Structure 1
Amino acid sequence: MESPFKSDILKGKVALLTGGGSGIGFEIATQFGKHGASVAIMGRRKQVLDSAVAALQSHGIRAVGFNGDVRKREDAVRVLESTVKHFGRLDILVNNAAGNFLVSAEDLSPNGFRTEIQFDVPVFCCFTVTKHKR
């Protein structure tokens, strides 16, 4: 299906996606890149990130991957700062990382619930992200 958006609608923009190495996050990263954005993806599995970055770059997308866990503040800060350092700015943040426990709510353990909250309300929410320039 052809995109309804102008092919360069995101030209010059930089996007950071948590959980961008696979699934929905990877497809969002791909579409952002195909519409002109440079893309940084964050994930816990380095091998998955490396593969995703290679796939994005094979489409001519400027992409970089940063290994980290959104549940750890120091990882979130490092990835945010590394993205700005690498691309010189940050315009778009997509908190896509998630944990999935395929059980009904009443069967979810307290630890599982805590993990879900840590994924779904990532540390990035604590930051005010505006256009960063060198």
Structure 2
Amino acid sequence: MPDIFARDLLKGKHAFMTGAGSGINLRIAQRFAAHGSKVSIVGRNLEKAQAAAAAICKEGGQAEGYSADVRDYASVLAAINLACDRFGQL
């Protein structure tokens, strides 16, 4: 598929992506990373989130995996704080 966007379109940005351990959200996270965004992969399964982040890093992107359940405000807030400590503001 041809890439119609500039490679550095999202350079300096930080995306916090829930449910991106697999499926379409993972593909979106990969595209964000390919365009320069730092990506925080968030899901209920930490190992799955970290594996997705590792795959993005292997492709040359910057990503980190975190565990949070979007039904639990405190866990999401904790993940946001960790992600912002690592990659800066969202």
TM-score w.r.t. structure 1 length? 0.65
Corresponding residue SS for 1:60? coil
Query: 1:37 is matched with which residue?
Result: 37
Structure 2 equivalent of residue 117 of structure 1 = none
Q: Secondary structure at the match of 1:3?
A: coil
CA distance in 2 between counterparts of 1:8 and 1:24 reads 22
Aligned to 1:11: 11
Runs of 4+ with >6 A deviation = none
- After TM superposition, the structure 1 = structure 2 runs for residues 1-134 of structure 1, keeping only pairs within 5 Å, are 1-90=1-90
Structure 2: give runs of 5+ residues left out of the alignment: none
Task: Quote how far apart the aligned CAs of 1:46 are.
Answer: 1.8
Cα deviation, residue 48, structure 1:
1.1
1:102-132 CA-to-partner distances (Å, cap 9, x unmatched) read xxxxxxxxxxxxxxxxxxxxxxxxxxxxxxx
- Identity of matched residues, %: 39
* Two-structure CA RMSD over aligned residues (Å): 0.9
Residue 50 (structure 1) shift: 2.0
The question of whether the paired residues in 1 share the 8 Å contact of 2:50 and 2:66 is answered with: no
The residue number in structure 2 matching 1:100 is none
Partners of 2:41 and 2:50 within 8 A in 1: no
By how many angstroms is 1:43 displaced? 0.3
TM-score scaled to structure 2, two decimals?
Answer: 0.95
More displaced, 29-38 or 78-87? 78-87
Unaligned runs of 5+ in 1: 91-134
